[in-house]
Amino acid sequence: MTAMRGVIGQRDMLARVSARAARGEAGQAYGLFGPRSIGKRTVALRIAQTWNCTDPKRPAGGCGTCLACVKIERGLHPDVQLIERAADKTVIEIQQIRDMQQHLALRPLEGRKRVIIIDDAGELNLLTQDVLLKTLEEPPIHAILLVITLAATVLSETIQSRLQPLTFRYVRAAEIAEGLTARKVKDADRIAATSGGLPGLAIRLAADEGGERTMRTGLEQELLKLVSSGLTDRFAWAAGLADESDLRKRVRAIDVRFEQWVEIMRDAALAARGVEVTPLRPDRATQTGRIAAGASARDLIDVTLLIEKLRRDLAWNANARAMLELFALKLPYVAGVAA
């Protein structure tokens, strides 16, 4: 029994949201907070569907088959608006929020509620957040605002105070496996085990959209090779990666590496410490075991923390090369890991 149609995990939180919707109580504005690929946008769509579904039973998450549910799923419902950054921009433009406010003043055309989804609100600058605040202070009665971002702290305190927080948690592998099996995915247990608690990643791995599995394997190999490389090769690697002149592409290229590598280094650090926990990358246990055997637990913990810190600072840190060289220096050396 799932709390909301087609959503993997977050059951307790969604049960509360669904119960309120079923009683006809609208929270006016929610903040959906949690890591990438955890299901925030899916839940936002399901909340929109819960409110605007035309099935008289009003199931949690919507029925998924009525015209309103289908239109919402495809982004074609006139009362449900998704606001996101344009591909060629670095932020969500202030005009996008102003246009939304005009639109929101009108009563719903087809549904019960006008639902605005902002994804990712971390891409609103302070001025734009101020404009948005006006809507959060006096939302029209027919409005529901769903504000998606990685963590509440990227928003101003006044915005935070106007949002009911919905905090997304990492999902247990067994629950992800169950969700994959329901989608008729073969090999559900193995994929769930490698997805690090992120249902969105598990679904992409299952479909291998965009060569996700290939990319993960490639990035894993890149790290293992670096671990067994000397400083000259490591610095050449840092220079090459820092060389991308497009800031967004460069940040993304570094972020995607650190996102993957922090998990491998954490597994190695815990193995070196002799802590028995389920590894985040069970399919790389041989290699993380080799790293654990060849480096000190202290150094492995330090580099794991360093990766986390560099990832947090990534958007603000102008000197990519210095950052990558610092990582190259701190990464423990262990011979023959990639072999």
Part in contact with Zn ion (CB under 5 A); list of ranges 54-62, 75-83, 229-237, 301-309: 54-62
Query: Which tokens in the block code for residue 28?
Result: 């006016």
Among positions 9, 39, 62, 199, the unique one binding Zn ion when judged by CB under 5 A:
62
55 contacts Zn ion (rule: CB under 5 A): yes
297 contacts Zn ion (rule: CB under 5 A): no
CB 64, min distance to Zn ion, A:
6
Q: CA-CA distance, 176 to 153, in Å (whole number)?
A: 28
95's CB contacts (< 8 A; 6+ apart) are: none
Checking DSSP bridges between strand 143-149 and strand 164-167, what pairing results, if any?
Answer: unpaired
Part in contact with Zn ion (CB under 5 A); list of ranges 3-11, 47-55, 201-209, 301-309: 47-55
73 contacts Zn ion (rule: CB under 5 A): no
60 contacts Zn ion (rule: CB under 5 A): no
Give Cα 283 to chain centroid, integer Å: 22
Q: Which of residues 235-264 bind Zn ion (CB under 5 A)?
A: none
Please name which of 167, 169, 151 lies closest in space to residue 159, comparing C-alpha atoms.
Answer: 151
63 contacts Zn ion (rule: CB under 5 A): yes
Among positions 15, 66, 185, 326, the unique one binding Zn ion when judged by CB under 5 A:
66
Give whichever of 110 and 137 is closer to Zn ion, judged by the CB atom: 110
**DSSP letter assigned to residue 335:** T
Give whichever of 66 and 305 is closer to Zn ion, judged by the CB atom: 66
53 contacts Zn ion (rule: CB under 5 A): yes
Give whichever of 53 and 203 is closer to Zn ion, judged by the CB atom: 53
Part in contact with Zn ion (CB under 5 A); list of ranges 66-74, 78-86, 156-164, 321-329: 66-74
Give whichever of 112 and 266 is closer to Zn ion, judged by the CB atom: 112
Q: How many residues bind Zn ion (CB under 5 A)?
A: 6
CA atoms within 13 A on the CB side of 149: 22
Determine the Cα angle at 220 with ends 217 and 223, to 5°: 150
226 contacts Zn ion (rule: CB under 5 A): no
Please name which of 114, 22, 111, 18 lies closest in space to residue 68, comparing C-alpha atoms.
Answer: 111
Single-letter amino acid, residue 105: A
75 by DSSP, 3-state: which?
A: coil
Please name which of 235, 333, 234, 329 lies closest in space to residue 291, comparing C-alpha atoms.
Answer: 333
Part in contact with Zn ion (CB under 5 A); list of ranges 3-11, 45-53, 117-125, 167-175: 45-53
Q: CA-CA distance, 326 to 319, in Å (whole number)?
A: 11
Provide the binding-site residues for Zn ion, judged by CB under 5 A. Answer: 53, 55, 62-63, 66, 69
